[in-house]
Amino acid sequence: MSSHTLPYTVESHPVTGLYSGKFGTWLFLASEVMLFGALFSSYVLLRVGAPADGPGAWLSHEEAHLDWKIGGFNTLVLIISSVTMVMAWASLKMGNLKKGKTYLAVTMALALLFVVIKLTFEYLPHIQHGLVPSHSTFFALYYTMTGLHALHIIGGVVVIAYFIGPGSALWAKNPEYYTNRIECTGLYWHFVDLVWIFLFPVLYLL
Amino acid sequence: MADAHTDIAKHVKLYIGVFIALAVFTVITVAASQWDIGHRGNVALALVIATIKGTLVASVFMHLKWERGMTLWVTFAISAIFFAVLLLVPVLAVSDAPPGVQMGTWG
């Protein structure tokens, strides 16, 4: 069995001007724009189509018991996690694996904090009060949008955990390749942060 | 190598600056939502602030500020067109509501 080396993992591809992992990640993120774009479009369509009052009227965030302080705190948690993620890449770029892995661990801890806050202070109390997806159009959309976003957070945690653990063995063989992989993970992570930047005002404030 | 280190060190300062800007804009988002300028005004203002925050994240944290390859920008342009089409659907629905159905209240 012959061993093959993937081309353009470190050097830029002559056509795209990017290493292939980065271009692939951007294509994936373009598809994610469609996914979340469709959900935002559905939100606007259903909201402008809801009756002004009576049965089926749109729930305000007060009626939905959504506290902007919890959403705002989680926004800050994700923003800080974006900074630690990009600092992990910068540390690796400067040749410091230990520091890079520490920043990755902090990013993962912040991601888990986001999910724990969402579950403990929002999902569980809402479910206990019967505010489940079948309660109203608002909650159907709320759980779909925030649930899909939370799944993306959990997916990011799995990838980051891999690169702190077994995936970091690549550093010894090819540090630049490993650093590029962290950059791609970061692109995904910042996109997840970016989606929340729009979800927060739409669901908690407007 | 030393130049690369200096470049990255400059980037780090920028990252901290963007973090502070994002935190400030989050506070502004909340404050602006308390300002009664009508539903449409509040929605527009919140989306403008979110767009500024999103641009900061994409350009600095996602390194788009330093990307020069045309292929990437063509990919973004196609993606932006599809996104605009998706958001056009509610606009078309509002402008073509059946008789007797009131749309566009943003209750």
Whether residue A167 is predicted with pLDDT greater than 90 in this model: the reply is yes
- Nearest residue of B to residue A74 by CA position? B26
Decide: residue A6, CB within 10 A, 0-12 exposed, 13-18 middle, 19+ buried. exposed
- Domains of chain A by range and CATH? 68-205 (1.20.120.80)
Q: Are B57 and A82 in contact (CB under 8 A)?
A: yes
pLDDT tens digits, A25-60: 999 999 999 999 999 999 988 888 887 777 788 888
This prediction's pTM: 0.92
- Nearest residue of B to residue A46 by CA position? B90
* A202 contacts B87? CB cut-off 8 A: no
On whether any CB of chain B is under 8 Å from the CB of A68, the answer is yes
On whether any CB of chain B is under 8 Å from the CB of A39, the answer is no
> What is the token pair recorded at A31?
């598809």
* A50 contacts B83? CB cut-off 8 A: no
* A201 contacts B33? CB cut-off 8 A: yes
The contacts of residue B21 (CB under 8 Å, 6+ apart) are B56
pLDDT tens digits, B57-103: 999 999 999 888 888 889 889 989 988 998 888 888 878 777 777 76
A10-14: list long-range contacts, CB under 8 Å, 24+ apart.
A10/A174, A10/A176, A10/A177, A10/A180, A12/B69
Instruction: Report the C-alpha gap between A68 and A53 in whole angstroms.
Output: 24
